[in-house]
Each structure stands twice: as C-alpha cells, then as structure tokens.
Structure 1
Amino acid sequence: MSITKLETAPSVSAIPQTMQAVICHGPENYRLEQVSTPTPAEDELLMKVEAVGVCASDLKCYHGAPKFWGDENRPAWAQEGVTPGHEFVGTIVSGSDAALAHHRLQIGDRIACEQIVPCGDCRYCQRGQYWMCGPHDMFGFRNYDGAMAEYLIVPPKARTHKVSKALDPQHAAFAEPLACSLHAVERADIQFNDVVVVAGCGPIGLGMIAGAKAKNPMTVIALDMSDEKLALARKCGADVTINVGREDAVQLIKDMTDGYGADVYIEGTGHPSAVGQGLNLLRKLGTFVEYSVFGSDVSVDWSIISDDKELDVRGAHLGPHCWPAAIKMIESGSLPMDEICTNQFPLDQFQEALDLVGDTAGTSVKVSIIPGSDQ
C-alpha cells in the first residue's frame, strides 16, 4: 500500500462538510458512516487524522469485554455512538487563535494526543495524577470521539504533543503505545543488576523491551510464542528470547539465575496464563508489573505473592510523563519501526484491521488505519 503523508494543512475552505467515520453501536456492531465534519468551538481545534493504531483494547471493546461494557463489578467504560481509536497522529487544520495559543500550536502542526482527556478538577488531577482522573474521559471510548475518522476535535483539556513531520504516519501514531510501555517500565523501578523479563512481544511488549534495555539492567529476557516476534524483540533490545510454546520459561530463567528467579517481570500479553507464569519465575522480593487489559477473569494462588515470596505487585495505566521520551525514541530511528508497523489499512477496511489484530496466530505486529489512503 502506498501512503502519502500530509505535508501541509488544507485551507478552511477545503475542509469538507461531511466525512467518513466509524461509529460504535455496541459490541460487534461498528459501522462506517458518512457524518458531518465536526466544527471546532472557540476553545477547540480540528485535526485531520493521518493515522490511528488499532489496539488490543480496541478489539476487546469491540468484542464486548466487561472491562469496557460493564458488569456487576464495574460500570461501563465505552459508549455507543462514539468513534473508536485512541492511538493517533494528525495535523491541525482549524482553530481559533486562543485555542492554538492554549496548546502552543500553529495551523499545520502535527501532533499526537494522550488517550485520556483529564477533567483537571478531581482529587487525582489536583494531585498531579491526571492519568487516573476520576471521570476518566477517553478518546475513542467515552465522551470524546476517537480517530477512526477523517477529522477529529481536539478539546481544550487534551494533552497534546508535537511530532516530527518526517515520520511515516503509522510510525508517528506509535507514540501512544510506546508511552504506555515506557510507563510500565518506570513502574518496574529497574536496577542495574536486575534480570528483567517481558512477557509478550506485541506492540506493547516490544516497547517495554526497548524501555527496559534503556534502563541498562543486567539482562532483558523476552517471552513469546512466535519466533518472528522474538527475533524482532532482539532488534528492540532483548538479550535473551524464550519461545514459551516450546520451552519451560520458568525453569530456564531459574537456571540462568542460580535458582533464584528474575528480579522483574512485566506482563504485556493480556493472557491469563502469563500471570501465573510471572509469579512462578520471579525471585523472592521481586517486582511484578501488570499492564494488560484482560478479556476474562484471572485466578492465581495469592499465597505466592504474600507468604511465599512477598512480591511487589504494581499496576500500570496509560503513559503519563513518558510521551516526550517515546516520541524522541521513535524520531531517533533506534527502533525497527517498519518491522513493528506491519500492516496499514484504509478507513473503509476498518473491519479487516480489527480482524487482523485478533489473529494471534498471524505475523502482524502493529496494525494501523490510514484515513484518506487507498489500497
């Protein structure tokens, strides 16, 4: 597929009155529709979307996971009528002088936005913990349309970051998952002598590997069931790779560490079996970082966490304060971005993009949608 980057912003008169957008009408009911192009309010900006990544959480939302649609234990996170897509980059094509000044932007700037649109008023926002905002409005899930569309409104409370125009669109949009990966690495508090294990070599896991390697620990070990993804993990910084479909990762890692186990385990697969795997391969007093969104409940022996090993178990959510580092890493050319961003689709093939993300046996890594592109 040939993708043409948007080098200059269109004039206001060139912005069409209608556009194509994917609309969520509930689980497994997403439709491409012709809708009115949004008009920015005085405090908003209009972005022409260049690329939007398709995340595993997009797929789980599409299939109706309770995490997004609610159950007896949690309220719904997703809304019908919203356009999905939270990993995006685009060019600012319209907005008032006041709105541009608020974001320190100009017409024609290329930006990425953090997934969350924090309220600024709740306890978490007031304490500087904006990524855990109480209302938790999110592009592509709740109250703000996402980027599986030709244009998108950037609200005043969006957290925006400039991105180089020299990057391919799909590479630039990788800033969101990479920032999330780096936050998980920050939560791990990696030390120089640590043996760090990253479970999963998908887009998030590859970013975790690159981030962990940048912390300069003793060893970074990557786990996956795909030899192709493990080879890519080595290019992202893994020192050792283990195919968990053929090898006993727990025993191999204990053998490598004089029987003690790894110091840090970062879970990025979203598969229930990876949780027990991590608990078993960690040493006593080790650190377990959980990033994934799970499609079903996970059961483990909690006595491993407490009485057996006294583990530190930490969650990780979004990519707070990691966006500048993520963008810098992509712009530096240090990551094999062409091998990470494997598949791009035009907007009218959004369903094929979702289905490919769900094909775990396939060879795709990062799947993206490029609005305006042709097959």
Structure 2
Amino acid sequence: MSETVRGVVARAKGAPVEIVDIVIPDPGPHDVVVRVQACGVCHTDLHYREGGINDEFPFLLGHEAAGVVETVGAQVTHVAAGDFVVLNWRATCGQCRACKRGRPWYCFDSGNASKPMTLADGTELSPALGIGAFADKTLVHERQCTKVDPDADPAVAGLLGCGVMAGIGAAMNTGNVSRGDSVAVIGCGGVGDAAIAGARLAGARTIIAVDRDPAKLEWAREFGATHTVDASTEDVVERVKELTDEVGADVVIEAVGRPETWKQAFYARDLAGTVVLVGVPTPDMTLDMPLIDLFSHGGALKSSWYGDCLPERDFPMLIELYRQGRLPLEKFVTERIGLDDVEAAFHAMHAGKVLRSVVVL
C-alpha cells in the first residue's frame, strides 16, 4: 500500500523550501522503497530550487543519500529488504550503445522509479536527479541502490552519491592521475577537495589547490594539497607554472564551472596535459578563445560527469578505503542537521561556510 511521509519540496523558482506530506506509491516491479538515514545538501539541490536545471516544479529535493531498503518490487533481484545502500543517479542499463561499447559511465538509459511520488493532493513530484531523498523514505529503481558496508556512517557514505564521487572520479577516472603527476585543482569546495583527495590516492607528487577563500585553502591542505594559490592575490597560471618547473600541471581540474576559471585551467596545464571540467556551468555561459591556442596545445580537454564512475565498482571500494583510514570522507561533513534546516543549509553553502551539511533522519 502507498504511505505518507515527510519531504522537502521546492514549489516555485527561488521560493523557500517547505516540509510537506508526500505519498510514496507501492513499488513497481523493479522499484524499491528506501528508508533514508542521511542525505547531503548538494549545490545541485540549490540549482533545482533556483530553476537552474529545469522548470518541472514542484521538486522533491535531495539526492546524496544512504539508507536501508525497506520494500522491493516483485521482480527486484539487485537488492533485498534490509540492505544498506548508497543511492546513485547513474543506474547503468547494460543495453544502450554506451554500455555495449564498454563505456557504461556514459549510460544513456539510467533507471528511475516507474511510478511518481506525489503531494497529498495527487500533484506529481519531480525528484532531484531521479532520487528525491530529503524525505523519510523515497522510491527509486533497484539499480539506483548500491550496497556498501553496513558499518559505515550513513552521513558519510551518502556523500558518495554525488559531490564526493564527482570530485574523486574527476581525478582518478576522468583525469587518469598517475603516480608522480602534478595536479592543480581550481575551486576548493566539496567537489574540489574530493578531487584533491582523489589525486592523493592516485599518488600525485604535487597537488596545487587554487581558491579565493583562505579557509577553503586550509581545508584543501587537510585533504592532501601540497601547495595553495590564493587566486585573489596571485596570478593563477603563473603560480601553477612556478610550482611545476615552469611547464604547467599534468592534470588541471576545474571545479568551479565558469569560463574564466576554465581558461585558467587550460593555460595552467602542461602542453600535453589534461583539463578536466567537473564544475557545472549555467546554460548562459560561453567561452571565447583563439582557436589557434586550442590547436597548439596537445593533451586532452575532458568533461567529467559524476566522476565517470561506476557505482557498483567505485562506491564499495571507496567505503573500504574510508574504513581503512585511507580516505578521510568524514572531513566532508561540516554539520549534521534536520529536515527543517535545509533552507538554512542552502544559505550556509552559498556563503562558503560548509563543505557539506548533512540531513540526518
């Protein structure tokens, strides 16, 4: 039978979020109901509230979540009731052209629940990234659930569902950072610091953190940055080259999503280096550069979607590294809050006061 739970909803562009009753329908054949234990407050949720993704209001926000499978559909085989899972928004199908070509991290047919969650009056909700986890429970496709070690702290584990995975994957998967590489990361919020942690895991020799906020640069050092550059007082390109024997970094990861910082990344890399764009630009942003500059630099220009991750491969591995003390995921959790604190968490995020606020249920 359907059930009614609490959820955080954005009803209109820019309007404060509300806690309302939402209806979870019976799961379809391949759907599962997950009792949410924790969910991070991600900048993407704020993008939804501000109308920066699309205008399919009302949105059920939240997507960086961990919880326990409670009810499963008749044909579910991927998980079972009682499993501790991290939710993911890339539920690979195994059948599309990307999957069949051995590139499932580009899957074009990611699974979502077959039935909509609704408001009490029957209005259909648009769940953020197909998840909608600022709620006591949520309905997702079975492939959106990745089983991980149940001893992991849900507030920590859930962060792999988006931002932390995006950053770590930008370094390790998209950027292919290798032992001895030099890496620069522009933008040291949650995604950028995760990229720094990923570069450290991969064995980078030099890790340069770039930001305008001294507090964020200090955070970056805690995640493994060997050098910091204050972009408000230093020329980023010149300073990165000074720190890399005047040749530029092997990999530069742009975690801001703006044309001016992407240009810094482009010119701060080695001639045959790699630029990884993991910061999310807005649709109105454009890039104006001399085409000869693109021609005269080798290497690679890449965009990183969700850190080019495979949840079934990457989530359990990263949780194990966290459990071994080799990946400090707990440092991303700045504060633990309740459902009624989400609006305040958006303001704290916008002010740069937190890496992650995490709703704990």
Give, in whole Å, the separation in 2 of the partners of 1:109 and 1:137: 19
Amino acid paired to 2:63: H
1:127 to 96, 101, 105: 101
Match of 2:279 in 1: 292
Match of 1:353 in 2: 345
Structure 2 regions of 5+ residues with no counterpart? 114-125
Give, in whole Å, the separation in 1 of the partners of 2:144 and 2:111: 12
Match of 1:175 in 2: 160
Match of 1:148 in 2: 134
Taking only aligned residues, the RMSD between alpha carbons, in angstroms, comes to 2.7
Structure 1 stretch displaced more, 145-154 or 333-342? 333-342
Aligned-residue offset at 1:97:
7.3
Give, in whole Å, the separation in 2 of the partners of 1:64 and 1:214: 36
- Give the number of aligned pairs: 341
Report the CA distance shift for 1:365/1:143 in structure 2 as closer, same or farther (over 3 A). Answer: closer
| 2:33 equivalent to 1:56 | no
- TM-score normalised to structure 2 length: 0.84
SS at match of 1:154: strand
Amino acid paired to 2:208: I
Amino acid paired to 1:315: S
Aligned-residue offset at 1:254:
1.7
Match of 2:121 in 1: none
Give, in whole Å, the separation in 2 of the partners of 1:204 and 1:310: 26
Structure 1 regions of 5+ residues with no counterpart? 1-11, 70-77
Aligned-residue offset at 1:90:
0.5
Report the CA distance shift for 1:171/1:305 in structure 2 as closer, same or farther (over 3 A). Answer: farther
2:322 to 315, 330, 343: 330
Give, in whole Å, the separation in 1 of the partners of 2:331 and 2:201: 20
Aligned-residue offset at 1:341:
0.7
1:277 to 244, 253, 264: 264
Report the CA distance shift for 1:325/1:287 in structure 2 as closer, same or farther (over 3 A). Answer: same
- TM-score normalised to structure 1 length: 0.81
Give, in whole Å, the separation in 1 of the partners of 2:260 and 2:48: 21
Structure 1 stretch displaced more, 216-225 or 40-49? 40-49
Aligned-residue offset at 1:143:
8.3
Aligned-residue offset at 1:187:
1.5
Residues 16-74 of structure 1, C-alpha deviations (whole Å, 9 max, x = no match): 93211123434224432112243323432211101111212222222122xx22xxxxx
CA contact (8 A) 1:198 1:205 kept: yes
| 2:324 equivalent to 1:313 | no
Structure 1 stretch displaced more, 227-236 or 50-59? 227-236
Aligned-residue offset at 1:153:
1.5
Report the CA distance shift for 1:214/1:142 in structure 2 as closer, same or farther (over 3 A). Answer: closer
SS at match of 2:62: coil
Aligned-residue offset at 1:329:
2.8
Residues 97-156 of structure 1, C-alpha deviations (whole Å, 9 max, x = no match): 752xx11x4432210122124455432233343443335566875783410111012323
SS at match of 2:306: coil
| 2:32 equivalent to 1:45 | yes
Give, in whole Å, the separation in 1 of the partners of 2:244 and 2:61: 44
Amino acid paired to 1:169: P
Give, in whole Å, the separation in 2 of the partners of 1:143 and 1:292: 17
1:301 to 289, 295, 309: 289
CA contact (8 A) 1:235 1:336 kept: no
2:224 to 231, 234, 237: 237
- The 5-angstrom pairing of residues 96-115 of structure 1 reads 98-99=75-76, 102-103=77-78, 105-115=79-89
Structure 1 stretch displaced more, 180-189 or 330-339? 330-339
Match of 1:210 in 2: 197
Match of 2:147 in 1: 162
Structure 1 stretch displaced more, 133-142 or 167-176? 133-142
Aligned-residue offset at 1:323:
2.4
SS at match of 1:252: helix
SS at match of 1:342: strand
CA contact (8 A) 1:178 1:326 kept: no
Aligned-residue offset at 1:278:
0.9
Amino acid paired to 1:198: V
Report the CA distance shift for 1:21/1:211 in structure 2 as closer, same or farther (over 3 A). Answer: same
Amino acid paired to 2:66: V
Aligned-residue offset at 1:302:
4.4
Amino acid paired to 1:344: R
Give, in whole Å, the separation in 2 of the partners of 1:291 and 1:182: 10
